[in-house]
Amino acid sequence: MGDMSTKDSRLPGHPSKRPSRRKRAERHQPSRDVHASNGVRLQKVLADAGLGSRRSCEQLIVDGRVSVDGTQVRELGTRIDPDKQSVEVDAMPITTHTDKVYLAFNKPRKVVSSMGDPEGRKNLDDYVGDRPERLFHVGRLDYETEGLLLLTNDGELSNRLSHPSYEIPKTYLAQVRGTIAKDVSARLRDGIELDDGLAHADSFKLIETVQGVSLVEIVLHEGRNRIVRRMMDAVGNPVIRLVRTKFGPIELAEQRQGKVRSLRPDEIGALFEAVKM
């Protein structure tokens, strides 16, 4: 018999020199060549997309956090075609088209959600008219409603975000007249019959009531004209003030009224993910 005192790395308590199962799987996993010889270095594409400095983007690649066309890339010399290839960081898609712009605007009251107005009222052109891009507003807010409005020159994204099939939720804070009856939340979620059909709220929450004025939060994915105002009228609590605070994954947060800001890369990626782009 052999010497049983000899250490065997296969026995419990002894470290194995064999690579882990995960490492062995990665070693034998077929890789797809995503390198485009006449393309742009991947770290430059990431930096141009706002992911950080060139050096920090190189670290993202080395750490295995970047994928191109679904294939993990760790080689710093990799070049890609940003117009034809898709890039993800931490499984979140990023935009590689540097000519595309994605903006969040905190619309004040009495501003028309269009790039011009035949009546001469204040409109979006007064805030972004000096930009060279042709911008689309994603959906619209009525003249009296305030809050978050997305603007972009990415026509496909704009169309998808506006299309009812993607059911993008929009969140509103509303000051309404009167106290909220106990059955209002259920009525709104079950559906309110309006003159253009049934309208459902995804959720409804009473925040507070002070001196006959209630503050409520309502979430819905429909985008019909003045739908929140009409729904609240139907349950006997007409709107005094209405602010959209969230559009899909994008939040208004502390953005000042009348200000425009560029969306962060992670916010853009979240929008792409929401509409399966």
Whole-angstrom Cα distance, residue 128 to residue 115?
A: 9
Residues with catalytic roles:
142
With contact defined as beta carbons under 8 Å apart, do 141 and 106 qualify? no
Please say whether the dihedral angle defined by the alpha carbons of residues 107, 109, 111 and 112, taken in this order, is positive or negative. positive
Which of 212, 217, 208 has its CA nearest to residue 242?
217
Beta bridge partners of 262: 103
Beta bridge partners of 112: 123
Return the exposure string of 134-157: e unless at least 16 CB atoms fall within 10 Å of the residue's CB, then b.
Answer: ebbbbbbbebebbbbbbbbbbeeb
